[in-house]
Amino acid sequence: MFIIDNYTTAVIFCVITMLAWGSWANTQKLTAKSWRFELFYWDYVLGIVFFSLLFAVSAGSMGLEGRAFFDDISQANSENMGSAILGGILFNGANILLVAAIALAGMSVAFPVGIGLALVVGVIVNYLDAPVGDSTLLFGGVTLVVLAILLNANAYRKLSAQRQKASTKGLILAVVAGLLMGLFYKYVANSMFPDFSNPIDGKLSPYTAVFLFSLGILASNFLFNSILMRRPFEGAPVSFKNYFEGTSKSHLMGFLGGIVWCVGMSFSILASDKAGPAISYGLGQGATVVAALWGIFVWKEFKGAPKGVLLMLNAMLLLYILGLGLIIAAR
């Protein structure tokens, strides 16, 4: 299987993760205006499963290092398989709330708040589990990210009262999603053998772990998303009949969104071998900067905001970038 052999390449893969995780939500923006996020999410999940399998049977089965995908999944024990699947379930519960927050409050709010909190929780949890990197630099970077989150939340509060009332629920959902999302990564990381070039019996390769993770997402979606379709956060209930009435473009955008997100997840997991889980996850969550830039400058989500908001947003982006720089330097 293909593996990363140095820290520089690992950082490059983390940057690709950051771009992918920060950009996939554009596909939700590009669907039909009438296409509900609950319906979009089914195609998004199918895209994740598709790419995880494709990546496993291609890059996960080439070369002489590690263990090929089919050999790996056939020898895996139930504990490690369950850990990867549990990671998918936890992620899906958090991510479906994040997608709802994007629909209600926009990318420039949902990502900095939701993913910013996920970065803080995830770095702490993963560092305690596998303490790789300079803790002073690592948590110094996390502190700057927390300050950036607070600035973003303050900028959001300065929006007009009417807009704030309409989307406060989205902000709350982003907070809950972020707190939950910081937990999933460690379960996927714990299911794998730590040195990807030296397989351990019963443990999973990164490719197998991501594939089983995607199955956890798919299985839990029949529960989580079905509930939301019947009892949505906003608007009338939707049904599977509505899903099959969607346009080809709407279905394709959801599927593409899942593929883009899974590229980021796969690259982040591969990078964790040389960067360590805390740094790999934390750097990948620089997606908040990418998503905020999309939301602010492309989708104009803060258009018409009061004086001083743009300055807050620029300060927020600067703090995020400085924080990510410290996280990179921590290794």
Contacts of residue 200, defined as CB under 8 A and 6 or more positions apart, other chains included, come to 193
Within-domain flag for 228 = yes
- As a whole number of angstroms, the distance between CA 171 and CA 183 comes to 20
pLDDT at 160: 52
Cα 103 → chain centroid:
16
Within-domain flag for 122 = yes
- As a whole number of angstroms, the distance between CA 191 and CA 78 comes to 10
Count how many domains the chain has: 1
| Residue range of the domain that includes 156 | 7-329
Q: Are 246 and 37 in contact (CB under 8 A)?
A: no
Cα 156 → chain centroid:
22
Residue written as token pair 């969550």:
285
Within-domain flag for 2 = no
Q: Are 259 and 48 in contact (CB under 8 A)?
A: yes
Beta bridge partners of 204: 192
Residue 203's nearest CA partner among 212, 63, 183 is 212
Q: Are 59 and 2 in contact (CB under 8 A)?
A: yes
pLDDT tens for the chain, 331 residues long, are: 999 999 999 999 999 999 999 899 899 889 988 899 999 999 999 999 999 999 999 999 998 899 999 999 999 999 999 999 999 999 999 999 988 888 887 777 777 788 778 888 888 888 888 888 899 999 999 899 888 877 877 777 676 544 555 467 888 888 899 988 889 999 999 999 989 999 999 999 999 999 999 999 999 999 999 999 999 988 899 999 999 999 999 999 999 999 999 999 999 999 999 998 888 888 887 777 787 788 888 888 777 777 788 888 889 889 988 988 898 888 7
pLDDT at 42: 97
Within-domain flag for 68 = yes
- As a whole number of angstroms, the distance between CA 187 and CA 25 comes to 24
Q: How many other C-beta atoms lie within 10 A of the C-beta of residue 179?
A: 16
Within-domain flag for 315 = yes
Residue 284's nearest CA partner among 97, 22, 96, 23 is 22
Within-domain flag for 208 = yes
Within-domain flag for 1 = no
Within-domain flag for 185 = yes
